Amino acid sequence: MKMYTITDSLKSECLILPLFEGEKLSKETLAHDETLSAGIARAMELEDFEGKKLQTTLLYTGEKETPRVLLIGLGKKKDLNVRTWKHAVGASVIFLQGKKYTSLAMVIPDDVTKLFGTKKAARQTVLAVGLASYAFDEHKSEKDARVDPLKHLAFLNISGNEKRAWQSGMEEGDVLSDAINDTRHLANTPPTIMTPVFLAKAAQKVGKILPSVRVSILGKAEAKKLGMGCFLGVAQGSALPPQFIIMEYQGGKKTEKPTVLVGKGITFDSGGLSLKPSAYMTDMKFDMLGAATVLGTIRAAAALGIKKNIVGLMPACENMPGGESYRPDDILVNMEGKTVEIGNTDAEGRLILCDALSYAKKFHPKEVIDFATLTGACMVALGNERSGLFSHDTSMVEKMMKSSEETGEQLWHLPLGEEYTEAIKSEVADVSNVGDVGGRGYAGASTAAAFLEFFTKNFETGESAYPWAHIDLSCSYYGGKGKPWIRHGANGFGIETMIEYLS
């Protein structure tokens, strides 16, 4: 936390000055330094900088205390929202890290604190800085090729009576960005290192640091005893032992029903015997992002002391081809005895999740939310800046959409429905792990969701066993291109929204 301070001094390697489109700079803008203000105003008169969204201009001031100023555009004032602000903050940090400046100051415009409220503005700002400054470069052998970590960032223009709120928002933002970067790091880690056991150890580490989190791991033998035939079916083609990771955080009363978070933990998805073409196999190290999101959410919730009971269920294994792999045409048996015909071994996520959704029933959950990089179809539909949300529970959907608006992480409500449920019926088993509506794999995101929905039922009554929502994390990793506010790799989508949702 020493990294972030509130200050009145302009002293830094570079001062970040966010400006709206068309905003005229008066010599009072930087109240403490009229010469600096006047210099910037003169530079702006040249109209090289118009304040358009994410426009950057670096100025050399000729002053000792503040040798450089980075102007960053916020776009039109009336369009300011949490995304534009975070993107501007993130883009500034990445730009300046690129120049190897590690001691920065940033002016916080009054409009930002007014629009979001001081505490939230601080939290969002620090979060954007934290996420932007993270780089996955530990495998670069030359130190020079790595990004210099930020050392210090001072915030300017926080008035006396706002300081406490800003400080507490900064602290929250710091906790959140640590948890989110940890999740990104797990996902970025190459799959030979990031095995199911490695992921389980990461969860145990959280349990060690935060005593309010209890972690238990079910190995292959225990999963077998529980009858998790779908989970073990997927795992059987891999040389690596599967791990069913359970994290329990008790922040609420003992008697309070928990929110159960379920996350897909495929540490590498080759497709199995239904092997993916090479171009689709790269990036499949990210197929454990659902599990990593759950881990990060529980870590953040515990660190922030959120007053809720939360259980995380993370089935983790690899999907690999081999002599012992499960096969298309196989019929796997879920832990509740439901049978699944395998049409394609690449539709493995829903199989490991179905055992987790069944297992969730043991906790008599208040609600269940699952996270999974489940379908390419969802990415085809929404691209990589928006995730798909599936749920029949209107109050969960409303709350989730509202939370995502607060954080600027975007969700889009996609349908469940009879045609998708029909599509996964099987001639030879209770359900099939593939199905489409209208041929050619159409509606792949919704048929996958319908498969999951099947396992959220109480099979005795036919009613749903718990309120449930599914998030297809189609957007949780970036190619990096065209997104100057975050670096290549996993982006940690979902944790912030879940924390907002849970608090």
Q: Does 318 interact with Mg ion (rule: CB under 5 A)?
A: no
Which of Mg ion, ligand BES, Zn ion, none binds 18 (CB below 5-8 Å, type-dependent)? none
Query: What is the sign of the dihedral through the CA atoms of 231, 278, 448 and 435?
Result: negative
User: Which CB, 372 or 499, lies closer to ligand BES?
Assistant: 372
CB of 374 to ligand BES, least distance (A): 6
Query: Which residues in this chain contact ligand BES in the complex, by CB under 6 A?
Result: 269, 287, 344, 346-349, 373-377, 379, 434, 444
Is 222 marked within a binding site?
Answer: no
Q: Does 472 interact with Mg ion (rule: CB under 5 A)?
A: no
Which of Mg ion, Zn ion, ligand BES, none binds 344 (CB below 5-8 Å, type-dependent)? ligand BES
DSSP state of 464: B
User: Which CB, 63 or 283, lies closer to Mg ion?
Assistant: 283
User: Which CB, 339 or 384, lies closer to ligand BES?
Assistant: 384
Query: What is the sign of the dihedral through the CA atoms of 141, 143, 148 and 149?
Result: positive
The Cβ of residue 362 has, within 10 Å, a number of other Cβ atoms equal to 11
User: Which CB, 255 or 282, lies closer to ligand BES?
Assistant: 282
Nearest-CB residue for ligand BES: 376
User: Which CB, 4 or 326, lies closer to ligand BES?
Assistant: 326
Separation CA 499–CA 503 (nearest Å): 6
* CA nearest neighbour of 303 among 181, 176, 165: 176
Task: Check: CB of residue 190 under 8 Å from CB of residue 307.
Answer: no
Selected from 23, 33, 346, 496, the binder of Mg ion by CB under 5 A is 346
Is 348 marked within a binding site?
Answer: yes
CB of 348 to Mg ion, least distance (A): 5
CB of 264 to Zn ion, least distance (A): 7
Site size toward Zn ion (CB under 5 A) is: 4
User: Which CB, 75 or 290, lies closer to Zn ion?
Assistant: 290
The angle, 0 to 180 degrees and rounded to 10, between the axes of the packed helices 163-188 and 196-209 is: 160
Separation CA 251–CA 299 (nearest Å): 12
Task: Check: CB of residue 51 under 8 Å from CB of residue 86.
Answer: no
CB of 130 to Mg ion, least distance (A): 31
The torsion angle over the Cα atoms of residues 318, 324, 330 and 331, rounded to 10 degrees, is -70
Task: Check: CB of residue 184 under 8 Å from CB of residue 176.
Answer: no
Selected from 162, 172, 174, 269, the binder of Zn ion by CB under 5 A is 269
Which of ligand BES, Zn ion, Mg ion, none binds 73 (CB below 5-8 Å, type-dependent)? none
55 SS3 class: coil
Give the N- to C-terminal CA distance of the chain in Å, as an integer: 22
Q: Build a one-symbol-per-residue string for 57-96: x at contacts with Zn ion by CB under 5 A, - elsewhere.
A: ----------------------------------------
E strand or H helix that includes residue 71: strand 68-73
Is 427 marked within a binding site?
Answer: no
> Any residues with CB less than 8 A from the CB of 11 and at least 6 apart, and which?
65, 66, 105
User: Which CB, 66 or 373, lies closer to ligand BES?
Assistant: 373
Which part of the chain contacts Zn ion (CB under 5 A), choosing from 19-27, 216-224, 259-267, 407-415? 259-267
β-bridge pairing 68-73 and 56-60: antiparallel
In 264-366, at which residue ranges do the beta strands (DSSP E only) sit? 265-269, 309-319, 331-333, 339-341
Nearest-CB residue for Mg ion: 346
Is 418 marked within a binding site?
Answer: no
> Hey, which residues are catalytic here?
276, 350
Residues within window 274-303 making contact with Zn ion, judged by CB under 5 A: 287
CB of 191 to Mg ion, least distance (A): 14
Separation CA 442–CA 431 (nearest Å): 18
Q: Build a one-symbol-per-residue string for 337-356: x at contacts with Zn ion by CB under 5 A, - elsewhere.
A: ------------x-------
Is 8 marked within a binding site?
Answer: no
CB of 237 to Mg ion, least distance (A): 12
Which part of the chain contacts Mg ion (CB under 5 A), choosing from 243-251, 343-351, 374-382, 386-394? 343-351
Which part of the chain contacts Mg ion (CB under 5 A), choosing from 71-79, 155-163, 341-349, 460-468? 341-349
Take residue 326 and report the two structure tokens written for it: 């499960």
CA angle in degrees (0–180, nearest 5) for 164-166-170: 120
Q: Is 233 left (phi over 0), alpha (psi -120 to 50) or beta?
A: alpha
CB of 154 to ligand BES, least distance (A): 39
Task: Check: CB of residue 165 under 8 Å from CB of residue 173.
Answer: no
* CA nearest neighbour of 84 among 59, 52, 56: 52
Separation CA 174–CA 338 (nearest Å): 44
Which of ligand BES, Zn ion, Mg ion, none binds 375 (CB below 5-8 Å, type-dependent)? ligand BES
Which of Mg ion, Zn ion, ligand BES, none binds 379 (CB below 5-8 Å, type-dependent)? ligand BES
Residues within window 257-296 making contact with Mg ion, judged by CB under 5 A: 269
Separation CA 266–CA 237 (nearest Å): 13
User: Which CB, 29 or 375, lies closer to ligand BES?
Assistant: 375
Q: Which string of DSSP letters, residue by residue, matches 161-185?
A: GGHHHHHHHHHHHHHHHHHHHHHHH
Annotated binding-site ranges: 264, 269, 287, 346, 348
Rule CB under 5 A: which residues touch Mg ion? 269, 346, 348
Annotated binding-site ranges for Mn(2+): 264, 269, 287, 346, 348
